[in-house]
Amino acid sequence: MGGRKKVSSALVSVYHKDRLDGIARRLHELGITIFATGGTQDFIEGIGIPVTPVENLTDYPSILGGRVKTLHPKIFGGILSRRENPSDVTELLEFKIPEIDLVIVDLYPFEATLASGASDAEVIEKIDIGGISLIRAAAKNFKDVLIIPSVSQYAFLETVLFENDAYTSLEERKRMAAHAFSISSSYDSAIFNYFNEEVALNVFNVGYKERTQLRYGENPHQKGFFYGKLSECLSQIHGKELSYNNILDVDAAINLISDFKEPCISILKHNNACGVASGDSLLENWNKALAADPVSAFGGVVISNQELTIELAAELNKIFFEICIAPSYTDEALGILKQKKNRIILKLLSTSFGQRQFRTALNGVLAQDKDLMIDSEENLKTVTKSSPSIVEMKDLLFAMKIAKHTKSNTIVLAKDSCMLASGTGQTSRVDALNQAIEKAKKFGFDLKGAVMASDAFFPFPDCVEIAHSAGIRAVIQPGGSVKDQESVDYCDRNGMTMVMTGIRHFRH
């Protein structure tokens, strides 16, 4: 590794002081001059380590309530000077500017302050100016300066100080510069998005601080990465690392289960539900969900919105499934589930994932608001002469929750708060219905008295005709077809009920 340099001076300006004591002590042991600002200076001096205040270097005090501390030529000149440039060296000597070889920064917590619900004034004060400038300057001059842009890079710094006696290579400094500009970019993106909520500029700007390399992408020949902090929404208790496809399935499972307030269990495969049941007994919910499609359940994802108990774990353990998700587990349940060493066991920590969705398309990115609409009885319109019974209404809303989270075109059949079958991802709505009916019959379900949910309108009355022939009694759909009345008239003539939501739930 080339460009090996030793740190002789360091500027430290951090918001969080975690782990700083050990670093400061080691800097002092190595004879490295420490320059520091305000609270950082107080902390280091408080543990008995001598510090040169930046005010002594700049001959200016911290002003404007701390808004201006390091923005001075004697600071930035020492960071940006090119050590092998004779003109730069001469100017440093002329203006008595010391070289600064190491910059340690931890930015004001803008995103945490925003997430806390703080006032606009408090949020604005957490926009770091000096710190972000120090990061960019040190990263730009990586040939001569080592930048540590956040606490996340302290482990590397500790290796440099304790194992390498403050020596770094050019490659190491360049890698830290990349980290620095990543942090700078993410920080600025968060600030931009805060302002843009009101201003609404036509600009796409999203930044993620963390990237996790996955085993591969959707297929082994594709590289895969996850950008974001999985640890904020999930805690992995057991099993192998999550794959690209695992993450997509987990996302689909959590989005589906989040629409159910009552106890519910769902089984998913390839992002689509193959079994869902809701009711007071989780064990009964599991048995009903599994019965809907025990073939597809093999190797799937199981999710519960209630604590997973030993009784349920014992039943789950009878079949092979790849992932289990729940908000909590009893110790006895975990003991059973962990018997399969590769089984992924996840604890659900949060279902708050933001309100926008993004996907690449052509040479750009598509963005949209998430479909957060949950159909309720209040937004339904009964369009047939007869109205659904209380039980039918409950089943209709239950079925539509599933249809909302199933690939279009989809038809979902349900009865007694249990999904009987679904037709998924079909190019024709008739094909989706026929697929659902065939699957329900395959697994021994009687469709008499069942309900049908469609994610979009029926362009012709053929779907209600087929549904009636199968024994289906009630239908829920968005409506909006020029031939809606033909479907309504057929229902009226054949004793069926139909409600319309006015809300389409396409999922491509």
Catalytic residue (one of 140, 238, 347, 441): 140
pLDDT of residue 133: 94
Catalytic residue (one of 17, 238, 270, 338): 270
- Residue 270 known to be catalytic: yes
* Mean predicted confidence (pLDDT) in 225-243: 92
* Mean predicted confidence (pLDDT) in 405-415: 97
Smallest CA-to-CA distance from 167 within 28, 25, 3 is with: 3
The amino acid at 80? L
Q: What is the pLDDT of residues 416-464, one digit of tens each?
A: 999 999 999 999 999 999 999 999 999 999 999 999 999 999 999 999 9
Smallest CA-to-CA distance from 37 within 110, 137, 130, 102 is with: 130
Give the model's confidence band at 80: pLDDT under 50 very low, under 70 low, under 90 confident, else very high. Answer: very high
pLDDT exceeds cutoff 70 at 379: yes
pLDDT of residue 2: 60
pLDDT of residue 140: 96
Q: What is the pLDDT of residues 413-428, one digit of tens each?
A: 999 999 999 999 999 9
Q: What is the mean pLDDT of the chain?
A: 93
Q: What is the pLDDT of residues 323-348, one digit of tens each?
A: 999 999 999 999 999 999 999 999 99
Q: What is the pLDDT of residues 148-172, one digit of tens each?
A: 999 999 999 999 999 999 999 999 9
Question: CA triplet 428, 434, 439: central angle to 5 degrees?
Answer: 130
pLDDT of residue 1: 47
- Residue 405 known to be catalytic: no
Q: What is the pLDDT of residues 237-280, one digit of tens each?
A: 999 999 999 999 999 999 999 999 999 999 999 999 999 999 99
pLDDT of residue 234: 94
| E strand intervals along 108-245 | 146-148, 167-168, 211-213, 225-227, 234-238
pLDDT exceeds cutoff 50 at 313: yes
pLDDT of residue 198: 83
pLDDT of residue 394: 97
pLDDT exceeds cutoff 60 at 315: yes
Give the model's confidence band at 385: pLDDT under 50 very low, under 70 low, under 90 confident, else very high. Answer: very high
pLDDT of residue 503: 95
Sheet holding 102-106, edge to edge: 52-53, 33-36, 9-14, 102-106, 146-148
Q: What is the pLDDT of residues 44-74, one digit of tens each?
A: 999 999 999 988 888 777 778 777 777 888 8
| E strand intervals along 65-181 | 102-106, 146-148, 167-168
On whether the CB atoms of residues 374 and 433 are closer than 8 A, the answer is no
pLDDT of residue 209: 66
Percent of the chain with pLDDT over 90: 82
- Helix or strand or coil: residue 146? strand
- Helix (H), strand (E) at residue 414: strand 411-414
Q: What is the pLDDT of residues 85-142, one digit of tens each?
A: 999 999 999 989 999 999 999 999 998 899 888 999 999 999 989 899 999 999 999 9
The amino acid at 199? V
Cα–Cα dist 469/158, whole Å: 73
On whether the CB atoms of residues 499 and 383 are closer than 8 A, the answer is yes
List b or e across 81-90, with b for residues whose CB sees 16 or more CB atoms inside 10 angstroms: beeeeeebee
Phi-psi region of 210 (alpha: psi -120 to 50; beta: other; left: phi over 0): beta
pLDDT of residue 65: 76
The amino acid at 354? G
Q: Give the pairing of strands 419-423 and 474-477.
A: unpaired
Q: Give the end-to-end CA distance of the chain in Å, rounded to a whole number.
A: 49
Record the pTM.
Answer: 0.79
**110 Cβ contact partners less than 8 Å away, ≥ 6 residues apart:** 123, 126, 127, 128, 187, 190, 191, 194
